[in-house]
Amino acid sequence: KCSECPNFDICEDCEKNDVHNHHVFLKLKNPMKIDIIYSHRTDDREAVNSTNPPANHPPPHPPMHHPPPMHHPPPMHHPPPHHRGHPPHFEGNWGNHHGWDHPWGGRGRRVRGRHCGRRNRRCPRNFDNENPLMSLAQQFLGGFENDSSESPQREDRRGGQNWVQKRPVIINRPEGPVTGCAGGLAIVETTVQNQSPFPYMLKDVKMIEADEGIKFQEINTNVRLNRDESQDFCLAVSLPDTPGKYQARFGFFNKNNQQHGETLEVIFEVLPDTSE
pLDDT, one tens digit per residue, over 226-259 is: 989 999 999 999 999 999 999 999 999 988 888 8
Residues 178, 260: contact at Cβ < 8 Å?
A: no
pTM for the full predicted model? 0.42
Say if residue 84's pLDDT is above 80.
no
Using DSSP, how many helices (H) and how many strands (E) does the chain show? Answer: 4, 11
Name, in order, each residue with C-beta under 8 angstroms of 127's C-beta and a sequence gap of 6 or more.
134
3-state secondary structure string across 99-117: CCCCCCCCCCCCCCCCCCC
Say which amino acid occupies 142: G
pLDDT, one tens digit per residue, over 23-79 is: 665 555 555 555 555 444 444 444 444 445 555 555 555 555 555 566 556 666 555
For β-strands 33-39 and 24-29, DSSP reports them as antiparallel
Name, in order, each residue with C-beta under 8 angstroms of 161's C-beta and a sequence gap of 6 or more.
155
Say if residue 88's pLDDT is above 80.
no
How far is residue 118's CA from residue 84's CA, in Å, rounded to a whole number? Answer: 10
Say if residue 216's pLDDT is above 80.
yes
Say which amino acid occupies 128: D
pLDDT of residue 97: 47
CB neighbour burial string for 148-179, b if at least 16 within 10 angstroms, e if fewer: eeeeeeeeeeeeeebbeebbbbbeeebeeebe
Confidence of residue 273 (pLDDT cuts 50, 70, 90): confident
Give the helix ranges, DSSP H, for the chain: 12-17, 127-130, 132-145, 152-156
Q: What is the DSSP code (8-state) at residue 151? A: -
pLDDT of residue 42: 46
Say if residue 140's pLDDT is above 50.
yes
How far is residue 39's CA from residue 5's CA, in Å, rounded to a whole number? Answer: 14
Q: What is the DSSP code (8-state) at residue 127? A: H
Say if residue 91's pLDDT is above 80.
no
Domains in the chain, ordered, with CATH?
6-46 (no CATH), 165-271 (2.60.40.10)
Say if residue 264's pLDDT is above 90.
yes
Most confident by average pLDDT, 71-80, 135-144, 208-217? 208-217
Pick from 18-22, 103-107, 152-156, 239-243: least confident: 152-156
How far is residue 165's CA from residue 157's CA, in Å, rounded to a whole number? Answer: 16
More confident: 174 or 137: 174
Inter-CA distances, 124 with 81, 85, 91, 114, 130, Å: 17, 8, 22, 8, 11
Cα Rg of the chain (Å, integer): 49
Mean pLDDT, the chain, rounded, equals: 69
How far is residue 221's CA from residue 217's CA, in Å, rounded to a whole number? Answer: 13
Q: Quick one: average pLDDT of 2-22?
A: 62
Closest CA to 249 of 233, 260, 264: 264
Most confident by average pLDDT, 11-15, 80-84, 95-99? 11-15
pLDDT of residue 255: 86
Confidence of residue 106 (pLDDT cuts 50, 70, 90): very low
Beta-carbon neighbour count of residue 212 at 10 Å? 7
